[in-house]
Amino acid sequence: MTMDRRTFSLAGLGGLGLAAMGAAQPALAARKAKKAASPAVAPKKPGQSDVIVLGAGVSGLQAAWMLEQEGKSVTVIEARERVGGRIWTLLDQPGYPEMGFNSMAAGYGRGLDAAARAGVEMVEVGARWRSGPPPLLWINGKPMTRAEWAAFPGNPLPEKLKMLMPGEVVGKLVSDNNRLADWSSWHDPANAALDISLYEYLKAQGLSDAAIHLCNDIAPYYGVNAWDVSSLMMEYNDGFVKGQAAAGPESLSVKGGNIHLATGMAKLLKGDVLLGREVVAITQDGASVTVHIADGSTFSAPHVICSLPFSALRNVKVLPALEGLQAQAVGQLGYQPISMVFVTATSPFWDEDKLAPGMWTDGPLGNVMPQRYGADLAEITGFIVQARGNLALYWDRMGADAAKAMVVRQIETLRPAAKGKVAAHSYFSWADERFNGGDVSFFGPGQVKWLDEMIKPAGRVHFCGEHTAQGARGLEGALESAERVALEVLTA
């Protein structure tokens, strides 16, 4: 057995330990030789941990657990008053709507393994999304079926694409025209020439500027517009999604809310998980790393794992300073603006106006997504109204109360049957979230070359998190990065 990241995580590491990986002699031998050749690590002070992990999202929690399984003492430091990072469930709302991580596919081996260890029950939710009529397209305030859209004079798509709804176009073109023979090699320097903007890519597929704006920029999958997203990253994501689809059609969430996955993972840890401790500086001095907290306290250890998104790390002083492409990535890596309003209805206005409850709009309302989390699939427990990219930033500038009022007003204007029957309860913005500054990370054109450099350790500071994953996206990518960084620390 080769000691790679996958076997390190999933071959029963918790019960077996490194001793059971006797076949992994090259990595272990290198580890022992390096230890013999390296200067002795400064003795730990009483109560000092072997490793400090910054951030209590799933990546940081997973890395901490893996290191504890190998006998390391670990302290986790989190700025928020909760664990979970980009997992956030509204437990006080019907159906427990998710503001962040939503579900995992059947191929999320790391995610399912973490869920089993955390003792949470996974339930299939894909049928809840697919149930009911497909969402209607609302253009210029008017609803359209797929057939009506195809015949609409204002449809800017090429003839062969006119039957596609705007939200389907980019994914379809990337899937049909993926230039990567092996999607997992996306960050190989040999593919650098493919790292162009999504705008250039879509233009080459025959889309006009008007079509690109409608099909991407109004509700971008990644980024703010087609100019600021790498088409190479989109093709990598397409390959990852296809791989997941091949594993099975299921979509799985945690019963009662995904936040229970993070809290369950935290409970498995032996060391402290310290909440409400904002990191303001990381300094290195020889064989020790010191983490400085906003309240003036400090923590030191031989190694620090930083799982903070770069949008948060760029507000932390790091000494010695990061250099080269790593510094550039920390300073510039993009994070997706996404804002959401959770809405409930006192009666099913969609039955009254005979229109599909779901809506994809080209106006300030964004996308209206019914949440079918009641006793049966017919029950709609609420709606997540979502804005992405520039629209999310526009909502954020309004402020939460004004954005909620606008959402209710827009629904009632477009659908008079909803008048007096809808209420907005919660507003959540990932761009405004203090310790995230955006949702999922994304690379801009020409930036994929950063990846292999930005994940390298800076002295005794190591990096993980979804943004550092090389072969997966989302929660699975976060867990993949935890495997890499735990092995990195153990073999340092």
Residue 84: CB partners within 8 Å, gap ≥ 6?
A: 56, 57, 58, 100, 259, 262, 263
Q: Which residue has the tokens 């006192």?
A: 346
pLDDT tens per residue, range 115-139: 999 999 999 999 888 899 999 999 9
Task: Output the pLDDT for position 192.
Answer: 97
Whether the Cβ atoms of residue 186 and residue 180 lie closer than 8 Å to each other: yes
The pLDDT of 23-50, averaged and rounded, is: 49
Domain 122-131+337-429 sits in CATH at 3.90.660.10
* pLDDT top residue among 177 and 40: 177
Whether the Cβ atoms of residue 3 and residue 481 lie closer than 8 Å to each other: no
pLDDT, the chain, mean: 91
Task: Output the pLDDT for position 286.
Answer: 86
The pTM for the full model equals 0.91
* Cβ atoms within 10 Å, residue 92: 8
- Taking alpha carbons only, the member of 311, 315, 282, 312 closest to residue 299 is 282
The pLDDT of 14-38, averaged and rounded, is: 35
DSSP state of 31: H
Whether the Cβ atoms of residue 220 and residue 389 lie closer than 8 Å to each other: yes
Q: Which residue has the tokens 């960084």?
A: 485
DSSP bridge partners of 104: 252
Backbone φ and ψ for 375, nearest 5 degrees, come out as -65, -30
Going from N- to C-terminal start, the domains of the chain cover: 5-85+256-334+437-490, 122-131+337-429, 156-247
Task: Output the pLDDT for position 46.
Answer: 52
Separation between Cα atoms, residue 488 and residue 463, nearest integer Å:
10
pLDDT tens per residue, range 199-249: 999 999 999 999 999 999 999 999 999 999 999 999 999 999 999 999 999
Task: Output the pLDDT for position 204.
Answer: 98
CA distances from 134 to 112, 161, 169, 343 (A): 29, 18, 16, 19
Alpha helices in 333-449 (DSSP H): 349-353, 390-398, 400-414
Q: In the predicted model, is pLDDT for residue 382 greater than 70? A: yes
The pLDDT of 416-444, averaged and rounded, is: 97
Tell me which of 7-16, 359-368, 374-383, 409-418 is least confident: 7-16
pLDDT tens per residue, range 321-375: 999 999 999 999 999 999 999 999 999 999 999 999 999 999 999 999 999 999 8
Separation between Cα atoms, residue 430 and residue 45, nearest integer Å:
39
Domain 156-247 sits in CATH at 1.10.405
User: Environment class of residue 298 by beta-carbon count within 10 Å: exposed (0-12), middle (13-18) or buried (19+)?
Assistant: exposed
DSSP state of 240: H
Task: Output the pLDDT for position 43.
Answer: 57
Domain 5-85+256-334+437-490 falls under CATH 3.50.50.60: yes
Q: In the predicted model, is pLDDT for residue 284 greater than 50? A: yes
Separation between Cα atoms, residue 195 and residue 186, nearest integer Å:
9
Q: In the predicted model, is pLDDT for residue 12 greater than 70? A: no
Q: Which residue has the tokens 């190479």?
A: 232
3-state helix, strand, coil in the chain (%, to 5): 40, 20, 40
What the block records as the tokens of 170 is 């980019």
User: Environment class of residue 251 by beta-carbon count within 10 Å: exposed (0-12), middle (13-18) or buried (19+)?
Assistant: buried
User: Environment class of residue 23 by beta-carbon count within 10 Å: exposed (0-12), middle (13-18) or buried (19+)?
Assistant: exposed
∠ at Cα 434 (285, 221), nearest 5°? 110
Tell me which of 18-27, 84-93, 390-399, 446-455 is least confident: 18-27
Backbone φ and ψ for 91, nearest 5 degrees, come out as -75, -15
| Mode of pairing for the β-strands spanning 279-285 and 288-293 | antiparallel
- Taking alpha carbons only, the member of 5, 49, 55, 51 closest to residue 307 is 55
- Taking alpha carbons only, the member of 5, 18, 4, 114 closest to residue 70 is 18
pLDDT tens per residue, range 50-73: 999 999 999 999 999 999 999 999
Q: In the predicted model, is pLDDT for residue 1 greater than 80? A: no
Q: Tell me how far apart the terminal alpha carbons of the chain are, to the nearest angstrom.
A: 21
